[in-house]
């Protein structure tokens, strides 16, 4: 059976760092509140020339270098993002342009914070059918463009960045073993972001009251913990494995308390959950591939290790993916 393996990982974040102390000067908040309620200390914020596609292309270039490939070797580019530079074309087409990946076709996935897991799952299906394909899977966001910088409930949470991996097929018994995706659109009002106001006045709905992220934090928190636990249990059951077999869980980085709760419910030691949200905040679709790249480059993942990725985000969308490295 063909499986999808990761040949290289890469990540990139904008240069400018915004600390909790900086935020204290912008809204009524404190380092103490942000740190104790979220675990976040810093986040990177994009500036001129650091559009989503540009950061994504830098991350992708690093993944290609690790894989020992060039842009011309890539057959397909999938970008998980809700903050593409433009409404059209897709961010993936702009990444293709930046890289000069002339042999690839490219498209975006809108699954909010689960965008990377969704993109990975799609790549897995392609590679199982055509193992020779080389696919660039990216999660990239500049959420700084879509938060209300006067709303302390949300502006302290998010950051900008991108992560990428290059995948292909193998006949060896390693790579992506199982994946499971879920959505529940009935709950969309708990976490959503408007697009540009409709020019067709009949389509204006009452949610079109600004282009900012809006979130019912406490509700999202509860769903995030339960949903990620369910997705993880499902992929483990599919492979008849237990959580004790897992070497490392790389979850979406939204809140340290969500991750601690998840660990407690699963019965997993803290050291088995990779956490870097103190440095980057919640980077939505970029958070898992940035963490995966860091863990990979730091040598936290060894050949043969079982690695679990899991995400939860707006939609609602959620899912998990299980790899043997």
Bond before 89 cis per omega within 30 degrees: yes
Site map 61..80 versus ligand UT7, x via CB under 6 A: --------------------
- Closest-by-Cβ residue to ligand UT7 is 217
**Catalytic residue flag (residue 282):** yes
Which member of 221, 233, 238, 272 binds ligand UT7 (CB under 6 A)? Answer: 221
Distance CA(95)–CA(57), nearest Å, equals 5
According to the binding rule CB under 6 A, does residue 29 interact with ligand UT7? Answer: yes
Site string for ligand UT7, 259-288 (x = CB under 6 A): -----------------------x------
The answer to whether residue 165 is catalytic is no
d(Cα 181, Cα 114) in Å, to the nearest integer? Answer: 9
Three-class secondary structure of residue 239 per DSSP? coil
Query: What is the rounded CA–CA span in Å between residue 123 and residue 117?
Result: 10
Q: Which of 224, 273, 288, 306 binds ligand UT7 (CB under 6 A)?
A: 224
Block residue for tokens 């960045």: 161
Q: Is 110 a catalytic residue?
A: no
Cβ atoms 106, 76 nearer than 8 A: yes
| Stretch of residues binding ligand UT7 (CB under 6 A), selected from 30-38, 61-69, 126-134, 269-277 | 30-38
- Give the C-alpha separation, 193 to 92, whole Å: 21
Q: Are 82 and 314 in contact (CB under 8 A)?
A: yes
From 4, 176, 220, 249, residue interacting with ligand UT7 (rule: CB under 6 A)? 220
94 lies in the site for ligand UT7, by CB under 6 A = no
Mind giving me the DSSP string for 172-190? SS-EEEEEEEEE-GGGGGG
| Annotated catalytic residue, options 252, 255, 296, 310 | 252
Residues at the contact surface with ligand UT7, assessed by CB under 6 A: 29, 33-34, 37-38, 113, 152-153, 156, 217-218, 220-221, 224, 254-255, 258, 282, 312-313
Residues catalogued as catalytic: 113, 252, 282
């Amino acid at each position: 059976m063909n499986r999808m393996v990761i040949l290289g990982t890469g990540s990139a974040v904008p240069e400018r760092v915004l600390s909790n102390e900086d935020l204290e000067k912008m809204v009524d908040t404190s380092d103490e509140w942000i740190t104790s309620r979220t675990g976040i200390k810093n986040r990177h914020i994009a500036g001129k020339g650091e559009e989503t596609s540009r950061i994504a292309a830098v991350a992708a270039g690093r993944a290609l270098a690790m894989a020992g490939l060039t842009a011309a070797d890539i057959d397909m580019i999938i970008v998980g993002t809700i903050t593409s530079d433009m409404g059209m074309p897709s961010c993936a087409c702009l990444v293709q342009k930046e890289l000069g990946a002339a042999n690839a076709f490219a498209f975006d996935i809108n699954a909010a914070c689960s965008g990377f897991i969704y993109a990975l799952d799609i790549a897995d299906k392609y590679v199982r059918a055509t193992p020779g394909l080389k696919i660039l899977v990216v999660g990239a966001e500049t959420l700084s463009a879509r938060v209300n910088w006067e709303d302390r409930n949300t502006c302290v949470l998010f950051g900008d960045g991108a992560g990428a991996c290059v995948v292909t097929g193998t006949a060896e018994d390693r790579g992506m073993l199982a994946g499971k995706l879920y959505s529940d659109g009935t709950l969309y009002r708990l976490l959503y972001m408007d697009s540009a106001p409709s020019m067709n006045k009949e389509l204006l709905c009452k949610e079109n009251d600004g282009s900012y992220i809006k979130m019912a934090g406490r509700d999202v928190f509860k769903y995030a913990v339960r949903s990620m636990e369910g997705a993880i249990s499902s992929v483990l059951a599919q492979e008849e494995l237990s959580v004790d077999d897992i070497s490392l869980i790389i979850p979406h980085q939204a809140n340290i308390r969500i991750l601690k709760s998840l660990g407690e419910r699963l019965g997993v030691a803290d050291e088995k959950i990779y956490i870097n949200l103190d440095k980057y905040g919640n980077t939505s679709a970029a958070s898992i591939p940035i963490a995966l790249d860091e863990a990979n480059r730091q040598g936290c993942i060894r050949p043969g290790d079982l690695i679990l990725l899991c995400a939860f985000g707006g939609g609602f969308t959620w899912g998990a993916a299980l790899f043997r490295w």
